[in-house]
Structure formats: C-alpha cells, structure tokens
Structure 1
Amino acid sequence: MERSGQVRGKVALVTGGASGIGAAIVELLAQEGATVVATDIDELRGADLAARLRNAGREVIFLQQDVTSEERWIEVAAEVGKRFGRLDTLVSNAGICIAVPSIVDMTLQDWRRQIAINLDGVFLSVKHSLPLMRRHGGGSVIMMSSVAGLRGATSLAGYSLSGYSATKGAVRLFAKSIAMECAQVGDGIRVNSVHPGIIDTPIWGKNSTWASGAGQNAPNVAGERAKSSTPLGRAGHAFDVAQGVLYLAADASRYVTGTELAIDGGMNTGGVVRRAQSQ
C-alpha cells in the first residue's frame, strides 16, 4: 500500500516488534517511509516479519533482544549507530502482563519479572537511545503504557492486574519526567506515552494464555469484554495503536511532548449506559 511518507528518511527502533501491537507499528512506520529496526525476544517471528516487509520493498531489519539485558542494549545501540549513524524514533513497546487471581497470589519472582520487562526495559531503552538521537538534534521517544497506567486496574475478568498497573503507571510518569529532562537540556527530543485499552491481539484468543507462571487460559475474548467496558462498545485493533504511534513519530506532533495518548475507545473517560435502539 502506498502511503504519504510521514516518517520518510527517519530511523526507528521498535522493541517487542515481532507480533501484536509491535508488529503493527513496525509495518506502519515502514510503510510510511521509515527505516525500522525491530527487536524482540522471539527471533523466529521477528525475522519472518522483517523478511516479509523487505520483500514488499520496506527497509526493515530484525535484531534479537531481551530488553532486560543492558549488555544487549549496548550491542543494539552500537549496531544501529554503525548501520545508520542516527536514531530518530524510539518505540519502547516490549511488555508483558502477569495476571493472578489476587495480588496475594503473585510471587516476588513474577513481580520482579514484570517490572524488569515493563519498566527496566523502558529505562534501558532510553538510556542507550538518547545519545544516538542527540547526534542529529532530536527525535521522538514513545513509551507504550496502558489504560491501566492512567487509573487503577485491580481486576479483569476475575484476574488481578495490580502489578501490571503499577508498571504501566510508572512508565507514564517516567515519560513525563524524561520529557522535562530533554526539554531542560534543549536536545530536541520529545517524549510521550501511549495508553491502549482493549486491543484485539492474539493474547485474547481462545488458545492464548496470560503471561503468568500458572498459564491460565485467557478469561474472555477482547470483543466480548469491550462491549461492556468501553463507550464505543468494541475492541480496538493493533493498527489503531500504530496510527497513534505514527502521529507521535512524525513531524505532525512536533509541538507535543510530556503527554499521554489514550487509544481506548473512551474506556478511561467513563462508562456508558446504552439506550435501547428504537425500531
């Protein structure tokens, strides 16, 4: 599909880019003209995605990465610098959701694992990407949070999301703080967070599992859950989130920093009592 080239000439790094929202972001940024470096722990899916997009004429490479490893972050940043000499857009998208029946059932090991991926990984992405961005006078950092980072999220279909909400709330304020830090030094880097609501990705499928040690089946599909919990009455799609990321990566958002973009069908705004449709 031919597009308008909103990020033509830019170099973007997307973590967690092998599937779901991350893959949609990689594809859309590439379609819009960016050279995209997709990273993920899932080497098979990541390599397949990059190959498919290259076959379609897009500029995409894949690097295997565990975002919790600082040693690997040093290697990835060095590889980006060596190949392209710059970085214009960082999308810190990699994350997991560990859901348990109650917070008292969460092990310290799972608590720390979720923090390591959802928060430490974002910290490391910023630490090792800002120097590349500063070489060429700025860029855009986009941190993937959640509607659970905007308000309390104690449960979803009987599963506690308290730990997940804690990490995503931290990402939101980390984004604001880094936005102010970058503005203070005048490096031209904008920083914002994105907050998806219920997005129809494979994790909601009948055979998918929550990322918990117990590996319970997902309690509901996205569409059914969204009917009752979002004002728009339907789940979003990964492409909807990718469109928001594209806006924040493009020059169209050049005056936007330190804010959050909710892509949640109105979920954070409140509930809606639907009126009966007249016949």
Structure 2
Amino acid sequence: MTATGTLKGKTAWITGGGSGIGEATARALAEAGAHVIVSGRRAAELDRVAAGIRTAGGHADALPLDVADAQAVARAGAEIATTHGTLDIMVASAGINVPNRAFADLDIPSWDRIVAVNLSGVMYAVSAVLPSMRSAGGGLVVIVSSWVGRHAVKLGGPAYNATKHGLVALGHSLNMEECANGIRACVVMPGEVATDILAKRPAPPPPEELARLLDPSDVARMIRAVCEMPPRACVNEILISPTWNRNFIAPSEAATDTPRTAP
C-alpha cells in the first residue's frame, strides 16, 4: 500500500468496516494516509481488514461493536477521540436487510432490527463523533445510504426503503445544523453493489449480472474523493449506479445481452 499522504494525520472511523463498501473504504482511506478504525460485529473480519492494511503499510485498528448498541457506540467514539486526539472522518457504512422483506412477509422483530442498524445505528455514530468534531472546529461524516434512499424500489422492501430514505434526511439535517461548526455531511446513495448483502435477496443476482454491478472499490473511490475535498467544500450527496442499471432495464432484457443494455 503506497500512501499518497492526502489524508495523512487524519483519523477515520468506519462502521460496517469488516466487509463490502466499509472494507473497501477503509483500504482507500488508509492508502491516502489516514489512520483508520474499523468497527462492526464480526471481530475476526475486522482483524483481517486491519491486518491487511497494516501489512500493506497503512495504519489501522479494529474496534468491534454492534452499531445498534447506543452505549457501545458512544464509548467507541469517545475512545477513538481520546486515543488519537482527533476524529476527523466518520463513515457510517453498516447496513442490513432480510430475505422476507415485503409487507406480506416482514415481521416486526425484523423491522425493528433493520431500523436499529440502518437508521438508529447511524444516528448513534453521528452523536458519538459530534462532540469531538465540534471541539476541533470541523469534521466530515459520510453516510452510506442507497439508491432506494432516492428512488424507492419494490425489491428493497418497506424497512430498507424507509431507513435509507431516513439517512438522506439525516445527512441534510446534519448539514443544516452543524455547518456553522465546520462539520460536513455527505450522503452516498449507491445503486447495486456486488456485496454479500445481495445474497440475502429472495432471488440473488446470477454471477453474470453480479459482474456488471458496481464494485465496492468504485464506491470507496468516491468516498475517498469526498474525504480529500477541502474543508470549505461540502458534497451534500452522491447518487451512483452501475451503467448497466437493472432498475432501468425490463426483467426480460436484464437477463439477455440486447442492444439496449450497456456494455
């Protein structure tokens, strides 16, 4: 890993950092010189990510937690700020969905868990970093929402759609209230990304379609670019999708290589 130094001296905390977009973002920010702390429930995966970054020459630590545990998240934020003396960047990337996600199938415990992780978990992380960012006179919060945060789709299900819409509102509210304190928020709304969460769909995309979706590194590059922007610039939101966007392609076309599909 060759650090470019654009984020040298910065501390970045990434929830959902053990896989997918969170993992790719941790690697991207470490390559830019940031000291990254990855959090999530799976300690072994966090250790793997942190060890890989260190082996490549970067700086990383693993800090396991459940983002739905408000007290654990608050303790983690305080610990990072105390240990590193600064908490410059927070990337909220943890998110879940369930296979039985339609109104006809979704049970209340599943709804509660999705809301707890996807929406409340982000609020807990934001609340945990605000004190240190205010004291420092600035900071950046990147919230990973989803395409369904802008364009609700049936496939997402009511809980996922609702929470991802909520994250967009949360990000804009953060900018409205905290811009005077130098704090910026960016909500990233990716279309389909080839991550493990797709395997939990009622009908996961076949391998030939997965290859045409966004890669986690594509989203990570966007997040790194936002993190490298000067403090005077706030990128309020980003909507990014695969060129071959299955939301725009009829089901019959999505399974075939017709002239109307992107290469």
TM-score, length-normalised on structure 1?
0.83
**Contact persistence 1:200–1:223 (CA under 8 A):** no
Identify if the C-alpha distance between structure 1 residues 99 and 237 changes in structure 2 by more than 3 Å, giving closer, same or farther: same
* Unaligned ranges ≥5, structure 2: none
Quick one: which amino acid aligns to residue 221 of structure 1?
A: P
Q: 1:72/1:170 Cα in 2 relative to 1: closer, same or farther (>3 Å)? A: same
Aligned with 1:110: secondary structure?
A: helix
* 2:48 match: 48
- 1:239 matched to 2:217? The reply is yes
Say if 1:35 and 1:194 are closer, same or farther in 2 by CA, change over 3 A: same
Number of residues of Structure 1 aligned to a counterpart in Structure 2 = 254
Indicate the percent of aligned positions where both proteins have the same amino acid.
32
* Letter in structure 2 aligned against 1:127: S
Match of 1:260 in 2: 237
Distance change in 2, residues 1:101/1:62 (3 Å)? closer
* Matching residue of 2:5: 5
Task: Confirm or deny: 8 A CA contact 2:81 2:132 kept in the other structure.
Answer: yes
Deviations 1:116-147 (A, max 9, x none): 00000011011111111122210111101000
| TM superposition shift of 1:70 | 1.4
CA distance in 2, matches of 1:220, 1:252: 39
Q: Which position in structure 2 is the counterpart of 1:174?
A: 170
1:68-217 aligned within 5 A: 68-100=68-100, 102-155=102-155, 161-183=157-179, 186-204=180-198, 208-210=199-201
Aligned-partner Cα distance in 2 for 1:182–1:268: 36
Residues 141, 276 of structure 1: alpha-carbon distance in 2 compared, 3 angstrom cutoff: closer
TM-score, normalised by the number of residues in structure 2: 0.88
* Equivalent residue runs for 1:26-45 within 5 Å: 26-45=26-45
Alpha-carbon contact 2:66-2:72 (below 8 Å) kept: yes
Change (3 A) 1:179 1:223: farther
SS of structure 2 residue aligned to 1:106: coil
The alignment's C-alpha RMSD in Å is 2.4
Distance 1:253 1:23 in 2: 24
Task: In structure 1, give the amino acid aligned to 2:10.
Answer: K
Give the Å deviation of 1:249.
1.3
Deviations 1:215-252 (A, max 9, x none): x6x532365278xxxxxxx2110000001111121235
List alignment gaps of at least 5 residues for structure 1: 211-215, 227-233
Q: Shift of residue 162 of structure 1?
A: 2.4
Whether contact under 8 Å (1:96, 1:114) holds in the other structure is yes
Secondary structure in 2 aligned to 1:194?
A: strand
